[in-house]
Amino acid sequence: MSLPQIIALLRETIGLDVASVGISLVERAVKRRVGANDLRDISQYAALLRRSEPELQRLVEAVVIPETFFFRYSESFDALRKIIEQRFFFGTQKMRALSVPCSTGEEPYSIAMTLLDAGLSNERFQIDAIDINEHLLDIARRGQFGSNSFRGNELKFRNQYFHQTNAGFRLCERVRQSVTFEQGNILEERFRSGGEPYDFIFCRNVLIYFYTEAQSQALENLRRLLTADGLLFVGSAETGLLTQHRFSSVKLPMAFAFRKRESVTVDTPRKVKQSKVRLTARTLRSEAFRKPFLPIPERAVVETVKHQNKLGDLAFAEQLADRGQLGAAAEICEFSLREQGPSARAFHLLGLIRDSAGDQHQASEFYRTALYLEPDHYDVLIHLALLKEKSGDVMAATALKNRADRVLERTK
């Protein structure tokens, strides 16, 4: 096996595009590993690579040196905390996050500290951390870090979650136990297949090392693993790549966060025989929470909407909702989200539609997404508060009403 064959092996196993690091770097790394193993030449080393997976891992480490430290790209973690406070603080939903590749653990542990600082208990979240390199995972599990893992001037977290030892800084047990580390390869076709999707995925500064087909495979896996309204955080140099693979930026400054570009589905309940009901926008806003199950009419005026060039017109969607044509109103909202991007107004109306149909769970999801996009949306705060109150979650309802009162005070 010659140097080109070793390069081909790296491409096959870790998706490495040699142009991203330079062929000279790979050649130097191979020569260092030849010397480290007391071998005569590259051909002997190639034979070792064929039979030794640990040596292949060491070569990967020599070629792609992991650069990581706590709270790298701090704006991403600031954004994560705000989203958690808006979407997950109330209720009992368990938040799921994935860090891949996780390297020596600084990133997933930073996620854990962010969630704890946001007020979530360990029982309210699950963090999975995946890397192809078992050696790096062993380091991560130990939770012992040197000074190079701490950069910048904002180091209050170190005093809060670490204690200093002769060997460096030891991470506290509460944070260590909140992350599950596993070996895995993001390029596997069935990577993490069969598991629950994640609300947040951090996959930063690895896609830039992949060749084109490997990038596509990795991003397809990430799409599959992300919830419908979940966020994918990437590195600053990877943002252009995301827009080419059906992801849209959520425009959080310096957070490099993306959402899947796809339609929002609104499940239509089975048809129930009943008298015709006419709903107005005012009814939707004030009465939906007291109505029993009310199915969305299956007949929609979609063709009429298209003919009038009203797809994506949310004002027209609200007019349709006023006339009781909820199916058509929902389709316009979906079109708007698909073509024009996330909108608090669209998610709010979808929440009202699902609420009027008695689908409290889906309505709550839409309301929370609207609040994520527009935290001071008074109507959404009130509607979600009423929904929480209806479900018996008095504490969450009270907190939401207090937020709504503060919004109202600021607008006076």
Along the 412 residues of the chain, how does pLDDT read in single tens digits? 578 888 888 888 888 887 777 788 888 989 999 999 999 889 889 889 888 888 888 888 788 767 799 999 899 999 999 998 887 766 667 899 999 999 999 999 999 999 999 989 999 999 999 998 888 999 999 999 999 999 888 899 999 999 999 989 999 999 999 999 999 999 998 899 888 999 999 999 888 888 889 999 999 999 999 999 899 999 887 888 888 888 998 888 888 999 998 644 444 334 334 333 343 444 443 333 333 333 444 343 444 444 445 555 888 888 777 767 777 788 888 878 777 777 888 888 888 888 877 778 778 888 888 887 788 888 888 888 888 888 887 877 888 888 887 877 776 5
Helices (H), 229-325: 239-243, 281-286, 302-307, 314-322
Fold of 74-260: Rossmann fold (3.40.50)
- CA 245-261-90 angle, to 5 degrees, is 125
Report if pTM > 0.85: no
Tally helices (H) and strands (E) across the chain: 19, 10
Helix, strand, coil shares, percent, the chain, to 5: 55, 10, 35
CB atoms within 10 A of CB 165: 9
Q: What angle do CA 224, 70, 128 make, to 5 degrees?
A: 30
Residue 303, pLDDT score: 43
- Going across the sheet that includes 125-131, the strands are 179-183, 125-131, 95-99, 198-202, 226-233, 257-260, 247-249
Distance (Å, whole) CA 263 – CA 269: 18
What pLDDT shows up at residue 161?
97
Query: Hey, which residues does 201 pair with through a beta bridge?
Result: 98, 232
Under 8 Å CB-to-CB from 164, ≥6 apart: which residues? 170
Among 298, 293, 280, residue whose Cα is nearest residue 356: 293
pLDDT number for residue 312:
57
- Give residue 85's pLDDT: 84
CATH topology of domain 281-411: 1.25.40
What pLDDT sits at residue 262? 61
